[in-house]
Amino acid sequence: MLAMTSTRSSLTIALAQLNPVVGDVSGNVAKAREARREAAAQGADLILFSELFLSAYPPEDLVLKPAFQDACREALEALARDTSDGGPGMLIGLPWREGEKLHNSFALLDHGMIEAVRHKVDLPNYGVFDEKRVFDAGPLPGPIVFRGVRIGVPICEDIWGPDPVECIAETGGELLLVPNGSPYRRGVMDERLNAAVARIAEVGLPLIYLNQVGGQDELVFDGASFALNPDKRFAVQLPAFAETVSLVKLEKGADGWRAVDGEKASLAAGDEADYAACVLGLRDYVEKNRFPGVVLGLSGGIDSALCAAMAVDALGADRVHCVMMPYRFTSQDSLKDAKECAERLGVRYDIVPIAEPVEGFEAALKPLFAGTSRDITEENVQSRARGVILMSISNKFGAMVVTTGNKSEMSVGYATLYGDMNGGFNPIKDLYKMEVYRLSALRNRWKPADARGPDGVVIPENIITKAPTAELRENQKDQDSLPPYEALDDILVCLVEKEMRVADIVARGHDLDTVKKVERLLYVAEYKRRQAAPGVKVTRRNFGRDRRYPIVNRFRDAGREIAPSDEALYRSRGATASVDAFDF
């Protein structure tokens, strides 16, 4: 390691854990300026922004547009001029065009100039990330010099492997500032910490990790920025799911730089973090797309009740409109439960019966359907009539339709295209049915700190305890067509999240025929999911950018010959080799 170090003994860095908007370059510049003013008032020397802050993250193919690149560059130059006032320097990210190459870059602004630029080296190209599609990788970075201090700026993925950080250390870097656009999913906070600790163990430098916060389409960025010292101990922990401009003070001693202990926020975890992510994702989708509010069908069931609670927590009761649309199969329990839920949440609640439109459709179709028996077609007419009503309310008043299907239903196609799948956004799209139950019970005893809904029980207990039903025919229950949700959800996690073989899923204790049926339904519902509204990602593998299956797909693990060694195992569990479709 080079011995080039500064004589400066202290440095104060402001972490701008903020919520930028993709494409809103002027708005993001205004946010950056306000944050810099706040940092200056707090006595900061330097303010650090999150990855690609001027464009916001992820800009996707928008970043390929030359006019957009120009707008970001012009914004950077304007911010650089701001730093001629002697206030805090700025480290800020943007797409940077250099000849034929386009980089995910960070620029140091100070003394009225762009003093240094560093490019991201390791471009992620898995899961929700497509950076190799739009960016070129930069060279291994050395540190940049800010007012005598040699600072390494590895960008996000650059700390998930050793090379960029080792290069910074070997060329005299004294501390690491890591800007990120790292989306939330369960367990990711621990994974980030493990990556940061691994780099610290290799180079012995303090590391400050700054993350974006806010929703962008299906992604939610949770913030939760932190500072670690060379001994791997936390010096600072910022809150999750909240904007803040907070200081990290560093002091230099005989052993190098250390961060002074500061704010140490407690972080939500597990179901609480999932719920907070769903609320923030819905809020930002509505706010950033400038909808005045939302409208949703409140059926008296668990899914729509949880979505209504999330909508009120995200936007406030005055911006949420709930509509009950009963038909002759709607039970008195559903009518009572929906009304009680709306009252507890304090939302506008209307009842719009659907008998006339449903019977009108059936009358119009009667000549075409002559000689056929009633089946799922007539059930779907009910769902589509409700979809038309909600979309009409949306068109008339501008409110976005919230769609309310959970991940279990979306997995197996237990949903109606142009019916209950209608909508602009789905806050529970990545929650399996049993998780919906857990989060509903959670919300009755807890809510996020920034929630705008009421305290206490907002989802009536009967909604949580009664058997789930679509109420599209007499005495219908979900379990008439689906396995018990406890079993279904486990099978789906195995198939969707883990890509497990059918044989391995059976070995967990599931019936072979059931696993085959679920696998078949998962594949044949792909065409429905392609037409579904976006929704918040909380799992490792959501339906959207994470999982990209072909619609035309004849592969079935269940269709292969069972090996003789496996046959005995299957038979011992009482399974058979037949494959039947569920009756929907």
Torsion of CA 114, 118, 123, 129, to 10 degrees: -30
Q: Which of 300, 283, 492 is nearest to 402 (CA)?
A: 283
Distance (Å, whole) CA 494 – CA 500: 5
Is the CB of residue 438 less than 8 Å from the CB of residue 274?
no
Helix, strand, coil distribution of the chain in percent, nearest 5: 40, 20, 40
Chain Cα centroid distance, residue 574 = 41
Nearest-angstrom CA–CA distance, 441 and 464: 8
Q: How far apart are CA 155 and CA 371, in angstroms?
A: 66
Contact 196, 160 (CB under 8 A): no
Instruction: Quote the CA–CA distance of 304 and 152 in Å, as a whole number.
Output: 48
* Residue positions counted in the chain: 584
**Catalytic one among 31, 72, 131, 156?**
156
Q: What gap in Å lies between CA 308 and CA 311, rounded to an integer?
A: 5
| Cis, peptide link before residue 230, omega less than 30° from 0 | no
Tokens representing residue 108 in the block: 């140091």
Q: Please count the other Cβ atoms lying within 10 Å of the Cβ belonging to residue 72.
A: 24
- 120 catalytically annotated: yes
Q: Which two three-digit tokens encode residue 549? A: 């299956």
Whether 157 is catalytic = no
CB 190 within 8 A of CB 143: no
Indicate which residues carry an active-site annotation: 51, 120, 156
